[in-house]
């Protein structure tokens, strides 16, 4: 009797289990998610992101800046000497995980991260990265879209309120600038980068171009080309090269200029190129040169986030208001 009872009980349990499995396979209900994480759809797929990540790794300097601006200090990031100087941030204690082009996966493993974040550039290592920790990759089309990208990034990390406050502070600073700019509202601001082998104009929808727009500052006609049109004309949405014969396109009431490069050697070459330009009659002919209104600034002018944006605003006050 006991044996039959046990057989019936076992058969009943197996039947219940089979029904449950069939129901699970045919149901459209979402799979339960761990209470400690939430699902994020991103460029490379779908990831369950920890609700309170403690050990975050940034695969690139753009992501590093976004994390810092949202109050998240990562435990690891790509080589950050230039980032630290450009962004005026103390990055002591943030481990170096290698270069932007080639993050060191072994180093990342040793840090035992609970979240890895980077731009879509890193889709080639996504499969490996996800074996280390949950990984989120976000699309980064170009730096002129930094505001939209920041808000999307913040939403993925459930930091939307922080990002909104960051952008409100940005807008408040620009409103203060506008209140003090007075006659500057008609001042054409030229933005030029000197490469080792070229002279480039930064256009309307570049990173610094968007800040100048928000500040209400006009640009020289050759630099007011929007991203879509610039992409068609030059194959680049935010900048274009000019020859020395077209230096007049770089002229303006004031010029912000930089030579920043990623290596010491390239920096030296760009500085040498600038010295050559300064002795060029076509350079000396420009109105902005004759009026001594060229201001050499750090390379955060080609930045991609709110920390760099506020440093650009600092320069607008420094060179246009305080002077």
pLDDT at res. 261: 66
CA 110/CA 67 separation, integer angstroms = 21
> pTM for this one?
0.85
pLDDT at res. 20: 37
pLDDT at res. 60: 93
CA 276/CA 70 separation, integer angstroms = 42
Please list the ranges in the chain whose pLDDT falls under 70: 1-34, 80-86, 260-262
CA 85/CA 82 separation, integer angstroms = 5
φ/ψ of 76, rounded to 5, equals -150, 145
Helices and strands of the chain, counted as H and E runs: 13, 12
Beta-sheet strand order (sheet of 189-194)? 239-242, 199-202, 189-194, 254-258, 294-296
pLDDT at res. 17: 35
Strand partners, 257: 192, 296
pLDDT at res. 162: 98
φ/ψ of 118, rounded to 5, equals -165, 175
pLDDT at res. 90: 79
Which domains are seen in the chain, by residue range?
37-140 (3.40.50.1980), 179-321 (3.40.50.1980)
């Amino acid at each position: 009797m006991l044996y039959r009872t046990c057989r019936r009980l076992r058969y009943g349990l197996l039947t219940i289990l089979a029904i449950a499995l069939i129901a699970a396979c045919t149901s459209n209900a979402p799979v339960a998610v761990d209470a400690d994480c939430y699902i994020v759809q991103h460029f490379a797929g779908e990831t369950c992101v920890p609700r309170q990540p403690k050990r975050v790794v940034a695969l690139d300097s753009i992501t590093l800046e976004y994390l810092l601006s949202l109050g998240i200090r990562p435990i690891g990031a790509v080589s950050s000497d230039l980032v630290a100087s450009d962004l005026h941030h103390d990055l002591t204690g943030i481990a170096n995980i290698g270069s932007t082009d080639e993050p060191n996966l072994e180093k990342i493993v040793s840090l035992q991260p609970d979240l890895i974040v980077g731009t879509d550039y890193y889709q080639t290592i996504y499969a490996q990265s996800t074996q280390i920790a949950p990984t989120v990759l976000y699309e980064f089309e170009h730096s002129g879209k930094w505001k939209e990208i920041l808000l999307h990034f913040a939403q993925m990390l459930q930091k939307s309120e922080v990002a909104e406050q960051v952008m409100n502070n940005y807008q408040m600073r620009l409103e203060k600038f506008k209140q003090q700019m007075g006659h500057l509202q008609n001042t054409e601001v030229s933005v030029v980068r000197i490469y080792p082998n070229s002279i480039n104009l930064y256009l309307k929808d570049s990173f610094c171009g968007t800040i100048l727009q928000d500040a209400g500052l006009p640009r020289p006609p050759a630099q007011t080309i929007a991203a879509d049109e610039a992409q068609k004309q030059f194959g680049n949405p935010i900048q274009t090269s000019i020859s020395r014969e077209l230096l007049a396109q770089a002229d303006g009431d004031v010029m912000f200029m930089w030579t920043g490069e990623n290596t010491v050697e390239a920096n030296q070459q760009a500085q040498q190129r600038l010295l050559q330009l300064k002795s060029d009659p076509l350079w000396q002919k420009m109105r902005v040169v004759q009026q001594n209104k060229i201001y050499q600034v750090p390379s955060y002018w080609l930045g991609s986030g709110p920390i760099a944006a506020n440093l650009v605003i600092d320069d607008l006050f420094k060179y246009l208001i305080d002077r």
